[in-house]
């Protein structure tokens, strides 16, 4: 079992840097439908989120991050591991394949899962309850 690790927050090391090819809201909505799906109970546990950061030059940077990485933003322990990294890379691979994003560094997708990734079709989203394991604190 992995012991929780407290990491120092460095946004440049978080997730996979991407260029958005569609609206931010579309990316976020799509990510809500990708993750661990319990079809019997009609629940979705999203695996990844789109993190956006204002840069000093006034531009915006976007990264697709596994929810376990997001805990680091809040200074919480994380059990992010190799399996989580592969899941993240696989989800990013599909977002790029669907022309929603472009990965800034193709080497970030050096390896992806061969296992199935669950995606609930948009047309079925209202039938499911989305259960987030991470919430961005708002003030």
d(CA 136, CA 127): 25
Q: Confirm whether 3 is domain-assigned.
A: no
Number of compact structural domains in the chain = 1
The pLDDT tens digits of the residues spanning 102-134 come to 999 999 998 888 888 899 999 999 999 999 987
Q: What is the DSSP string of 8-63?
A: ---GGGSSEEEEESS-HHHHHHHHHTEEEEETTTTEEEE-EEEEEEE-TTS-EEEE
More confident residue, 138 or 65: 65
Q: Confirm whether 109 is domain-assigned.
A: yes
Domain that includes residue 48, residue range: 11-130
Q: Confirm whether 17 is domain-assigned.
A: yes
- Partners of 37 in beta bridges: 44
Domain holding 65: CATH number? Answer: 3.30.70.650
Q: Confirm whether 104 is domain-assigned.
A: yes
The pLDDT tens digits of the residues spanning 33-88 come to 999 999 999 999 999 999 998 889 999 999 999 999 988 877 888 899 999 999 99
Q: Confirm whether 138 is domain-assigned.
A: no
Q: Confirm whether 4 is domain-assigned.
A: no
The pLDDT tens digits of the residues spanning 3-38 come to 554 444 555 668 999 999 999 999 999 999 999 999
């Amino acid at each position: 079992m992995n012991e929780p690790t407290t990491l120092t927050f460095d946004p440049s090391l978080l997730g996979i840097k991407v260029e958005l090819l569609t609206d931010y809201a579309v990316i976020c909505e799509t990510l809500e439908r990708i993750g661990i799906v319990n079809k019997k109970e009609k629940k979705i546990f999203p695996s990844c989120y789109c993190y956006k950061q204002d840069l000093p030059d006034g531009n915006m940077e976007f990264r697709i991050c596994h929810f376990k990485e997001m805990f680091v933003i809040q200074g919480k322990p994380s059990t992010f591991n190799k399996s989580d990294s592969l899941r993240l890379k696989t989800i990013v691979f599909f977002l790029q394949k669907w022309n929603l994003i472009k990965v800034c560094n193709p080497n970030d997708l050096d390896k992806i899962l061969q296992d199935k990734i669950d995606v609930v079709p948009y047309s079925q989203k209202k039938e499911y309850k989305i259960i987030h394991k991470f919430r961005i604190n708002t003030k």
